Amino acid sequence: MSIFGTMKTAVSGMNAQANRLGTVGDNIANSSTVGYKRSSTAFSTLVLPSTQGSYSSGGVETNVRYSIAEQGGIQYTTSSTDLAIQGEGFFIVSDPNGTPYLTRAGAFVKDATGFLKNTAGFNLMGYPYGSNPPAAVVNGFNGLEEININDFGMVSSPSTAGSFPANLDKGAAVVPLANRPSANALTGTVVTNKSSLTAYDHAGAKVLYDFYYTKATASPDTWEVSVYRQDQATNGGFPYTATAPNVLVQQTVTLAFDPNTNKLTAASPKAITFTDPNDGATPAQSITIDLSDMTQFAAAFTPGKGIIDGNAPSPITDVEIGGDGVVTAVYQDGGRRPIYQVALATVPSIDKLLPQNGNAYLPTNDSGVVTIGFPQAGAFGQIYSGALESSNVDIASELTEMIESQRVYTANSKVFQTGSDLMDVLINLKR
C-alpha cells in the first residue's frame, strides 16, 4: 500500500509542478501585456492518516494566487488617451453587452463611433459632466456611461461665468456722473479706460462686450464698471441702442477700494452680473464676471487675462484627461469643455478578484463589495494621461521558477518510476 501511495504522491507532485509551470508560462507570455498582473502557485500538503510502523504518504495541492494589487511600472506614450493609474483603483469598462468589468489596461483609443476602446475591446466608462461636477454612486455602477467623444462634436454652450481683472490707475481723474459711460449719453461721455471680452451665446455665436472703467470718487476711492454689448454701439461709441425686438444690454457696478491695500474692500461688490436675452433662448443668458482681483495702484490701466466659459460649435480636435479623471474636449477654435469624469473602482480584497479574458476582473464574494469614487479622492490613486501601466512580471524570477519547477517535476517522476519498479518486483514475487 505504501508503494502505491508513493506513486500517487509523486503524481500529485507532478501535477502541482505542472500547475506551477502553467502560471510561469502565462506570466512570460503576458510580460508585455499592458496592466497584466502576475499569477503564482502556492503549495499546501495533503496528509493521510498513518499508523505506528506504517506510513501513508499524502500529497500536495496547489492554489493559484494573483498579484493584482501589486503596482506595475509607468511607461509614457505619445497618446493622450493612454491612461495609467498610480495607486489604488481600476478603470470601469464595459463589454459589447454592457456588462461592467474592472481593468488596469488603459490603452484606450477612440474608435470610429467615438468610444474610448482598449486593446481588449472594452469601452471606458465615466460620469457625464453637466453644468456641475458629477457625483459618484459609491456602491454601484448606476449612472455610469460609456464615454463617447463624438457626442460633443459641434455642440455649443453659452457663456455663464468668467473673470476679467485689471489694475485701475489711482491717479486717474474723477468723472462727473453725467459724463460717465453709465449715463449712456449721446455726447460728452468721457472714456477713461475701456477693454472688451468675447463670450458665446446659446447658438455658439461670438458676442463682444465692452467694459468701461471710470473713477467716481477720489475719497473714498470708487470706480464704476459699466458693460455694454459692442454691436449695439452707435458708430462704435455712445449711445448704445437696440432696435426691437432686440434688448439693450447695460449694467453698472460701483467698486470701492481700500486706500491701504489698493484692493477691493470687504463690503465692495466682487463681480458684475448682466443679462443678455438677445439670442431668444429661455431662460435668458446671464453672465457673471469675477472682479475680485481688481487693484488700484499708481500705474497705467492694465487689463488682466480675461477668462470665460462657453464655446462655439467647433469640431473636437483632441481630448485631455486630468489626474482627477476629468475628460476635457479641446475644440478647433481653442475652446475647452469638460464632458466626462472617469471613475475608479476598488474592492476590500483586490487579490481575490476573478480574472477574465482581456485582462479584466469581476468582483466575487471573496473580494468584497465594489466601491466607486474619483481619482485623487480618498484611497484612490491618480490617473496619468499619455502613460500606460506595464506588466508586473519579472522575467528573471519567472525563469528561475521555471528551472525549479522542471527539476522538482523531474524528481517527482523519478519517485514515480522507482515506485513502479518496486511494484514490478512485488508482482514478480508471485511468479
Q: Is the pLDDT at 286 greater than 60, yes or no? A: yes
Q: Please classify residue 101 by burial: count the beta carbons closer than 10 Å to its beta carbon, then call 0-12 exposed, 13-18 middle and 19+ buried.
A: buried
pTM of the model as a whole = 0.68
Q: Please report which confidence band the pLDDT of residue 431 belongs to, taking 50, 70 and 90 as the band edges.
A: low
pLDDT of residue 1: 52
Cell of 14: 507532478
Give the whole-angstrom CA distance, residue 221 versus residue 271: 17
Question: Smallest Cα–Cα separation from 321: which of 298, 344, 300?
Answer: 344
Residue 330: what pLDDT? 87
Per-residue confidence (pLDDT) for residue 355, from 0 to 100: 95
Grid cell for residue 336: 475647452
C-alpha cell at 345: 473602482
Torsion of CA 332, 334, 339, 341, to 10 degrees: 120
| pLDDT for residue 389 is more than 80 | yes
pLDDT tens-place string over residues 211-253 = 999 999 998 999 999 999 999 999 989 999 999 999 999 999 9
For every residue of 322-346, DSSP letters joined together read -TT-EEEEEETTS-EEEEEEE-EEE
The candidate with the shortest Cα–Cα distance to 38, out of 55, 20, 54, 26, is: 26
* Per-residue pLDDT tens digits for 34-80: 999 999 999 998 888 777 777 778 889 999 999 999 999 999 999 99
Give the mean model confidence (pLDDT) for residues 346-358.
Answer: 95
The string over 306-315, giving b where at least 16 C-beta atoms fall within 10 Å of a residue's C-beta and e elsewhere, is bebbbbbbbe
* pLDDT over 80 at 131, yes or no: no
Dig out the grid coordinates for 21 from the structure.
Answer: 509551470
- Convert 216-237 to b/e letters by CB count within 10 Å (16 or more is b): beeeebbbbbbbbbeebeeeee
For the chain, list the domains and their CATH numbers: 2-67+392-428 (no CATH), 77-155+315-389 (no CATH), 161-308 (2.60.98.20)
Q: What is the mean pLDDT of residues 92-121?
A: 94
**207 touches 308 (CB < 8 A):** no
Mean pLDDT, the chain, whole residue set: 92
pLDDT greater at residue 132 or residue 272: 272
- Do the Cβ atoms of 81 and 321 come closer than 8 Å? yes
Predicted confidence (pLDDT) at residue 392 exceeds the cutoff of 70? yes
Residue 228 to residues 158, 194, 240, 426, Cα–Cα distance (Å): 17, 11, 7, 109
Query: Is 235 or 2 the better-scoring residue by pLDDT?
Result: 235
Q: How large is the C-alpha radius of gyration of the chain?
A: 35
Task: Return the percentage of the chain with pLDDT > 90, whole number.
Answer: 78
Which residues have CB under 8 Å from 248's CB, separation 6+? 229, 232, 240, 241, 242
